[in-house]
Amino acid sequence: MKSELNVLITAASRRVVLIRGFRDAISKLGLKGNVITTDINPLSPGLYFSDRHHFAPLTTDPDYFNRLEEICREEELGAIIPTIDDELVIMGESRERFDKLGVRIVISPPSTSFVCNDKWETFKFFSEREIPTPHTWLPDQLPDPRELQYPLFLKPRMGRGSVGTHPLRDPWELLFFLEYVNEPIVQQFLEGPEYTLDTFVDTDGSVVAVVPRRRLWVRAGVMDKGRTVNRQELIDLGVRVATELGIVGPANIQVKYSRGRPYVFEVNPRFSGGIALTIASGVNFCEMTLRMVLGEKLEERLGQFQDGLVMMSYEDSIFRSIDTDGYDDIKKLIT
């Protein structure tokens, strides 16, 4: 096994837990290496928890991948961990470009990310495979709003977190938000508890870990309080969904338990915002990622985690003197 591995985590933002997790995993495995981060915003706290950081443009900038290549060479990187939905498809399409530099992008195939990013494609994918999922409509497929059964749920077809999501209590709210939200979809509203299934898949397609977490309290789309739940039905569902989608590496599967059965309504093929609870329960996705990058065959850990472990998050702050002179474009974005 290689003794040195430098890892880049993109879009550092508030991902302090993930950055610390990779630093700890490098140390635990006895590796020499650093965790490097990027972000466009010098006020992203995650930047200041890595060993070194760099500024990079938005993913949509035509110079984005040139900048990443510069960082790969400068930092002698061995792996890149993408963290935001916006970059998953194009990162997956660029794997060969970085393979030539000896840099492994830990990511699912672009076809997988495309299905997961587009909630209409997600609905079609699960429906075709008879995986329970809430019924979904495009705006031009909706029946007469007066004939629908409320409540319903409206969200952007391409979106992340809870941005642009709205419960709909009647036809008037439906008509209003159809105009208000860009490219919306409308879904059947599911009553019941919500779960995240943190899932990890080895390069050969074998699902090595599924850790279900009940989302007790959610803030800005991220679990603020949660509890691990060792329920075989959810673990089996995580295995099936990850296998059908062709997930590679980390993913989080969003599930609602309604009318006595779990319904899958969203999948994000990346690390989840609540990964701290999964790591604390005894399943270290950061360590698994490093072992996979180094070419090790991962040991199956299905069901092997601490059941009933509760996470309660809280705010904290850091303080730095930061000179933003010379970053006028960045300052415009954050003021």
Q: How far is residue 332 CA from its own chain's centroid? A: 27
Q: Flag whether 41 is in a domain.
A: yes
Q: Flag whether 241 is in a domain.
A: no
Q: Flag whether 237 is in a domain.
A: no
Per the DSSP assignment, residues forming a β-bridge with 12 are none
Predicted local distance difference test score (pLDDT) of residue 275:
96
The 8-class DSSP code of residue 203 comes to T
Going by pLDDT thresholds of 50, 70 and 90, the confidence category of residue 218 is confident
Q: Flag whether 47 is in a domain.
A: yes
Predicted local distance difference test score (pLDDT) of residue 320:
86
Total of domains in the chain? 2
Going by pLDDT thresholds of 50, 70 and 90, the confidence category of residue 322 is confident
Same domain, 28 and 91: yes
Give pLDDT tens digits for 240-257: 999 999 999 999 999 999
Q: How much is the average pLDDT of 77-96?
A: 96
Q: Which domain holds residue 150?
A: 135-188
Domain boundary among 146, 169, 188: 188
330 pLDDT higher than 90: no
Can you tell me whether residue 168 is helix, strand or coil?
Answer: strand
335 pLDDT higher than 50: no
Q: Flag whether 83 is in a domain.
A: yes
Quick one: what percent of the chain has pLDDT higher than 90? 88
Same domain, 94 and 180: no
Q: Flag whether 166 is in a domain.
A: yes
Q: What is the mean pLDDT of the chain?
A: 93
Report the C-alpha gap between 210 and 228 in whole angstroms.
11
CA distances to 196, 222, 273, 309, 314 from 227, rounded to whole Å, are 10, 14, 14, 5, 16
Same domain, 77 and 139: no
281 pLDDT higher than 90: yes
User: What is the token pair recorded at 120?
Assistant: 């209409």
Give the CATH number, domain containing residue 168.
3.30.1490.20
Q: How much is the average pLDDT of 198-202?
A: 98
Domain boundary among 155, 172, 188: 188
Q: How far is residue 104 CA from its own chain's centroid? A: 18
* pTM for the full predicted model: 0.93
Same domain, 94 and 34: yes
Q: Flag whether 51 is in a domain.
A: yes
